[in-house]
Structure 1
Amino acid sequence: MAGDPGLFGPRSVTWQMHGDPMMWIAGIRALYLQALHPRAVAGVIQNSAAFQPNKRGRRDAWGRLMRTANFVGTLTYGTTDAAERAGATVRGIHRRLSATDPATGERYRIDDPDLLLWVHCAEVDSYLHVLRRSGFPLSDAQADTYLDEHRVSARLVGLDPAAVPGDRAALAAYFAAVRPDLALTPGARQVDDFLRRPPTPAPLVPARALLWHRVARLAYGALPAFAHELYGRPAPPPATVTRRLRATGRALRTIPPALRWQLPPKHILRAVERLGPDARPAPYKLRRSAAILDGQEDPQGELHD
């Protein structure tokens, strides 16, 4: 691999995970979770055209989702320079924005570290939770490695990596500490309404009813129990959610990667072109890595009883 491997590289847990199609459902779960922080969601509502009443802004809601996916893809599979530039752009945007606390009237900055940390933790928790629950092969040690790797992405949005949870225990402790600050605000209801019924051109409304409703319902069902309590909407039994996640994961993973990677923004294709075919992300690489660590396989790939 003569090219620039980027921030994580083809041997990282992040590289293998972020190529999985269940990342889309995980991203929607992250939006549901992020919306429960009153100041975080107020910052989005007050600064995003996607939630303004004018039609142009409502049409841009899909663009916002795609820009988020593009940012994650650039950080994961782009060159080091591209990732650093993407992070600098995001920091610059956040630095110029502020919002008003609906409860107190206080003006605050969007790049407040507490808000950035909440958004980061809700994202990585959702990625880990949905992929593992849907059958993606990831050991506990690899899950901790993933969280440690994403201290890098936390730095790019303006956080001190030392203040970011780097394993599952630290992440669980963070959520326990922040839980009293969460609430179902009017802003959270707006996000909930958008995710259940996103603005869609008239010809695509039937497809929204048939496909998107199921996707949003699955992402909502994967939320933690405290989030269901706050939203006040029942979720299917956990075993049912797990069964649906696994079935969806199996179905999506039957789509050939070469076909999936053709969809915009094509970050994986460009990374493979840059680094060679061995850079293709694949779940089996994580299984093999775990086997080597457990002493069941040597670095040359020979399995041992």
Structure 2
Amino acid sequence: MAAPVSPRPKRIKFSGHTADDGLFGPDSVTWRISALPQLGLAAHGAAMLQMLLPPVMHMIDQASTFRTNPASRAELTALFGRTLTYGDTAAANRAAEVLAKIHHRVTATDPVSARTYHADEPDLLLWVHNTLQWMVLRVTDSYGPALSDANKSTYLNEQVIAARLTGCTVDDVPTTEKDLSAYIEGMTPRLAMGSDTIWFKKMVFPARIVWRPATYLPHMMGVAVAGLLNYEQRQLYGVDRPAWQFETNRKILKGIFEAEARKVPVLSRISLERQKVDEKAFGSPH
């Protein structure tokens, strides 16, 4: 279903960040699925997977505010994704330029080889991009909306635009689910749980769960993210459960997401996302 251009609220001027339909537009698969609440699981799951690649984890540990201020760091990541997806062309390009400058500026040192490297190394950028796309497809398979093979291919080809803007070597970016899965599988021997991954694991998988209403849904979301990882990835984190627990948790959450979708239809969600970009865009001085 194609999403129309969202109506611009009267209080928001045309000098905002959605003056045009941006990189993807209302006919894209990207627009249709990115505003859905279950896609938040893809971002969390991708982060979990990304941290299993030691150079990425070293970078986050040494040069990021994630450890000391995770909420702010996550908010900035979400802001970048929203701007790239729903912002106008100028805002999306500006966001990518600002991110590229940040990535080139920050460095980390490998604790074994003592090699210092930048965050914009092509293989690291490709890993970050591909883990997110792999998780998006796993989320839509598990929680909906179900995508046909053709729509999956369309989505991955659309995301080549994002890959190019974030510094990936375009020729290396998978554009089919088969190639994407082969890439993830091929990276498995390089994944590891290092000493600097322990704090991250404790942050996202607290050892003790307090069963009260305020923590029940976050716990379910954590179990859902673990369920999106494959067996080998979960084993590296040392977190696993019987398959029936993951499936029970998935069914409950799927019902919650479907109820949310009925309450706020996708076209309304897209309008809200575009309004948020008009109010604040990544890398914009306004």
TM-score under structure 2 normalisation? 0.82
What is the 5 A alignment of 1:1-305? Answer: 4-51=20-67, 58=68, 60-197=69-206, 209-237=215-243, 239-240=247-248, 242-257=250-265, 261=269, 266-269=272-275
Shift of 1:253: 1.9
Is the Cα contact below 8 Å between 1:22 and 1:252 reproduced in 2?
no
CA distance in 2, matches of 1:180, 1:134: 29
Deviations 1:231-273 (CA, angstroms, capped at 9, x unpaired): 121134164454244224223323324898499xx4333689x
The letter for the 1-side match of 2:198 is R
The CA deviation string for residues 155-208 of structure 1, in whole angstroms up to 9 with x for no partner, is 1111121211111111012112211100111232222212235xxxxxxx9665
Between the two proteins, the alignment pairs up a number of residues equal to 259
Corresponding residue of 2:11: none
Question: Runs of 5+ in structure 1 lacking a partner?
Answer: 52-57, 198-204, 273-305
User: Within 2, Cα distance between the matches of 1:153 and 1:218?
Assistant: 26
8 A Cα contact 1:71 1:86, kept in partner: yes
Distance across 2 between alignment mates of 1:78 and 1:187: 35
Letter in 2 for 1:29: G
For 2:277 and 2:174, how far apart are their aligned partners in 1? 28
Q: Which has the higher contact order (CA 8 A, sep 6+)?
A: 2
Unaligned stretches of 5+ in structure 2? Answer: 6-18, 279-286
Query: 1:19, 1:268 within 8 Å by CA — same for their partners in 2?
Result: no
For the Cα contact (< 8 Å) 1:100–1:108, is it kept in 2?
yes
8 A contact 1:7–1:80 mirrored in 2: yes
The CA distance in 2 between the partners of 1:209 and 1:267, in whole Å, is: 26
One-letter amino acid matched to 2:261: R
Measure, in 2, the Cα distance between the counterparts of 1:243 and 1:68. Answer: 28
CA RMSD of aligned residues (A): 2.9
Deviates more, 1:212-221 or 1:230-239: 230-239
The share of aligned pairs that are identical, in percent, is: 34
SS at match of 1:99: strand
TM (norm. structure 1) is: 0.77
- What SS does the aligned partner of 2:263 have? coil
